[in-house]
Amino acid sequence: MEKLNVMVVFGGKSGEHEVSLMSATSVLKAIDKEKYNIITVGITKQGIWKLYRGPIDEIQTGEWENIADKEAENEGFITHMSLLPTDNGKGIVTLGNGETQKIDVIFPILHGPFGEDGTIQGLFEMINVPYVGTGVLASSLAMDKAMTKKLLKAEGIPQAKYHIIMLKDYKENSEKIIQKIEEDFEYPIFVKPANMGSSVGITKANNIEKLKEAIELAGKYDRKIVIEETIDGKEIECAVLGNEDPIASLPAEIIPSSEFYDYNDKYFNGTSKYEIPPKLPKDKIEEIQRISIEVYKLLGCSGLSRVDVFIEKNTNRILLNEVNTMPGFTKISMYPKMWEATGIKYTDLIDKLIELAIQCFKDRN
């Protein structure tokens, strides 16, 4: 069979830029080069798109930008590129030497705003090219924790108690808002930017001073901030795969090495522990899988997502935490680990995601 041209996009303008570099490194090492011709495109923190033809390992180090520029200078082409639709509606990428290349599938290994929030998905739909992952609406809904929580509440999906505050309102009337939070919640309290992932900007505040610091930190990432009660219980993740008829993996219990499963614990320390499957009754595991699929369908996800829940200690209730439409794909990330434990190897998982992208494109058209 003729090889498919797969454009892998990494980096991006969000606070999860470095996570994307790690995820892309892992995917590019594992993807089957016998099946796919790879076009590698990096997006800088400033939003500049660059063709990259250098060593895979230098993506994770961040050196890829310098290598791309030097290669272009030495070989006489520009690193900047363009994505264009053709007359027949098929997308092409213009390469730095003036050549063009057909794109069969785009694999956007991007996390956070401008990559996981529906913006870049809209671009891919405008040029009419299949792309891995969830579409515009579901991506934007899931990225915005506040909107996700409102939708879950409307549909009767149990979740932790929460408030949403606007940074502008907080700056104008911080004392009143802090007073209201302390009336409605007991410490410790979680404070999160509404539109961010990988635990970036999240704080567990144990007192009023930490609460104020946490709101200031979250406000650096988003103008909308989620205040959430702390749930005493197990933290469980479940991987979902598919389009109209998704399947759920064996879930995993996360056992963080720090106070909560934060950014360093997820991507750098490597000291957190996990259990796949968790030490739970079979019916509880099946309930987690059922709820994960239900929420996946409710948001309108496709391709893949990771659904995170809590199991409350005293009540044993399952409480929905959040949905990640492009979960981490690093060598220590839970999404591929859960599927591997369920029976789908990393390389096969990449193949399946590309197949799902093409199928979703055909269905949409």
How far is Cα of residue 139 from the mean position of the Cα atoms in its chain? 9
Q: Tokens representing 41? A: 């495109």
- For the domain made up of 4-131, give the CATH fold: Rossmann fold (3.40.50)
Looking at residue 88, its pLDDT comes to: 57
Is pLDDT above 70 for 77?
no
Burial label, 144 (beta-carbon count in 10 A; 0-12, 13-18, 19+): buried
Angle of CA points 59, 222, 111, to nearest 5°? 25
Separate counts of helices (H) and strands (E) for the chain: 13, 17
Mean pLDDT of 287-304: 97
Question: Where, residue-wise, is CATH 3.30.1490.20 in the chain?
Answer: 162-229
CATH number of 162-229: 3.30.1490.20
Q: How are the residues of the chain apportioned to helix, strand and coil, as percentages rounded to the nearest 5?
A: 40, 25, 35
Q: H/E element holding 108?
A: strand 105-109
**pLDDT value for 330:** 83
At 259, the pLDDT band (50, 70, 90 cuts) reads low
Residue 195 DSSP class? B
261: helix, coil or strand? coil
Q: For residue 332, is pLDDT > 60?
A: yes
Number of Cβ within 10 Å of residue 362's Cβ equals 9
Strand order in the sheet with 91-94: 82-85, 91-94, 100-102
- Single-letter amino acid code for the residue at 267: Y
Residues spanned by CATH 3.30.470.20 within the chain? 142-158+232-364
Name the 3-class secondary structure at 338: helix
Burial of 21 (0-12, 13-18, 19+ CB in 10 A): buried
Residue length of the chain: 365
- The Cα 232–Cα 44 span in angstroms is 39
- CATH 3.40.50.20 range(s) for the chain read 4-131
Q: What is the pLDDT of residue 273?
A: 85
The tokens for 190 are 């979680």
Do 72 and 79 touch, CB atoms closer than 8 A? yes
pLDDT digits (tens, 9 = 90+) for 7-58: 999 999 988 899 999 999 999 999 999 999 999 999 999 998 988 989 999 9
> 10 Å Cβ neighbour count for 115?
28
Residue reference for tokens 């041209």: 5
Expressed in angstroms, the distance from the first to the final Cα of the chain is 24
pLDDT in tens, 193-229: 987 655 678 899 999 999 999 999 999 888 999 999 9
Q: Read off the DSSP letter of residue 131.
A: B
Residue 67 has pLDDT above 80, yes or no: yes
Cα 324 to the center of its chain, rounded Å = 5
pLDDT at residue 100 in the model: 80
Q: Residue 121's closest CA among 141, 96, 149?
A: 141
The model's pTM is: 0.89
Domain 142-158+232-364 belongs to what topology? D-amino Acid Aminotransferase; Chain A, domain 1 (3.30.470)
